[in-house]
Amino acid sequence: MAQKRHEITVDTLLTDLEADRQLAHTSEQSGAAVSATMAKARLLGFIVDRKETGQPGDFAGMQSIQDVVALVAKELGPEAAEALAALVHQAPVAAQQAQADELEPAKATHEPSGTLN
């Protein structure tokens, strides 16, 4: 019977980190406890480390949305560029709808009583 080489999952990592956190508390090592808690948060996606790429002014020469989408495709890949393009193309529609909603006369929220005050 073949043995599994590794059985590491998100759940096993979380269990290990929780055990480490508890040990740190028991040992009065608050820094280690915080580190274990932060590792759990990163593993679960609550904390995402981000970094900027490129140089200051890289977007200064952009003349159109297509220029920005092309740079995003180059830096982040075609899926990211397609997502950005879809968002940009939907934004005017959403803005037009919001403007139309503002211009639409308020609708009565109650039926007329039939009497004049």
- pLDDT, averaged across the chain: 79
Decide if pLDDT at 95 tops 50: yes
User: Of the candidates 39, 2, 43, which has an alpha carbon nearest to the alpha carbon of residue 21?
Assistant: 39
Q: Domain spans of the chain?
A: 10-43, 65-103
The length of the chain, given as a count of residues: 117
State pLDDT tens for residues 71-84. 889 888 999 989 88
